[in-house]
């Protein structure tokens, strides 16, 4: 289930807003320039479908999205029990950072939280299967798929060098851990 929880950056234990319905989540995130959509898709894939099968199944959606955004390519990222060095991989995303390109993800299966830090607020956008999120260039954020991630997502980009994380040095992520017990 998709979930948005908004906090004042000074009060991590006290939500200002909690929303589970896609229109409210989309509206709240749009106010800070973040795109959020639920894709109701007839696509059914096996959990172990390879990257080519995932890309082929979602090609009509990707073509539309890439046409709208000007992005040039897409790939599949999968993090699961077989992923080598999961703790180190997770740690890379847990610190607040920015990118020089929009970060676009569509959750094919699994879940993860994009936690955004904008104008004194923290927006925990917990995404699940069928969710599309696009975090604009320069927005401070971090990502968590939990200690035992099992997620497959489409990544859409124009230039992969834009995905290099530029860490802010702000320890705020330590005060706002992602919440997976939904």
Q: How far apart are CA 162 and CA 182, in angstroms?
A: 32
What is the residue extent of each domain of the chain?
Answer: 3-175
Predicted local confidence at residue 181, as pLDDT: 42
CATH of domain 3-175: 2.60.120.10
- H or E stretch including 7? strand 3-8
Q: Please list the ranges in the chain whose pLDDT falls under 70.
A: 69-71, 160-162, 178-182
Cβ neighbours around 23 below 10 Å, total = 10
Give 67-120 pLDDT, tens digit per residue.
776 667 889 999 888 888 888 888 888 999 999 988 899 999 999 999 999 999
Could you tell me the pTM of the whole model? 0.92
> For position 133, what pLDDT does the model report?
97
Report yes or no: 45 and 54 within 8 Å, Cβ to Cβ.
Answer: yes
């Amino acid at each position: 289930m998709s979930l948005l929880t908004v906090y004042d950056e000074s009060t991590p234990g006290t939500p200002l807003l909690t929303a589970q319905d896609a229109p409210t989540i989309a509206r709240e995130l749009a106010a800070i320039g973040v795109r959020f959509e639920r894709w109701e898709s007839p696509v059914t894939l096996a959990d172990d479908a390879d990257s080519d099968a995932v890309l082929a199944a979602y090609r009509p959606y990707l073509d539309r999205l890439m046409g709208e955004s000007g992005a040039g390519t897409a790939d599949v990222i999968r993090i699961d029990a077989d992923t080598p060095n999961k703790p180190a991989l997770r740690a890379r995303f847990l610190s607040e950072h920015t990118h020089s390109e929009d970060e676009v993800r569509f959750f094919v299966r699994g879940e993860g939280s994009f936690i955004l830090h904008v104008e004194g607020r923290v927006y925990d956008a917990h995404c699940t299967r069928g969710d599309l999120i696009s975090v604009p260039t320069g927005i401070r954020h971090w990502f968590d798929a939990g200690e035992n991630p099992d997620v497959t997502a489409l990544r859409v980009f124009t230039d992969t060098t834009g995905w290099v994380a530029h860490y802010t040095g702000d320890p705020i992520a330590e005060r706002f851990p992602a919440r997976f017990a939904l």
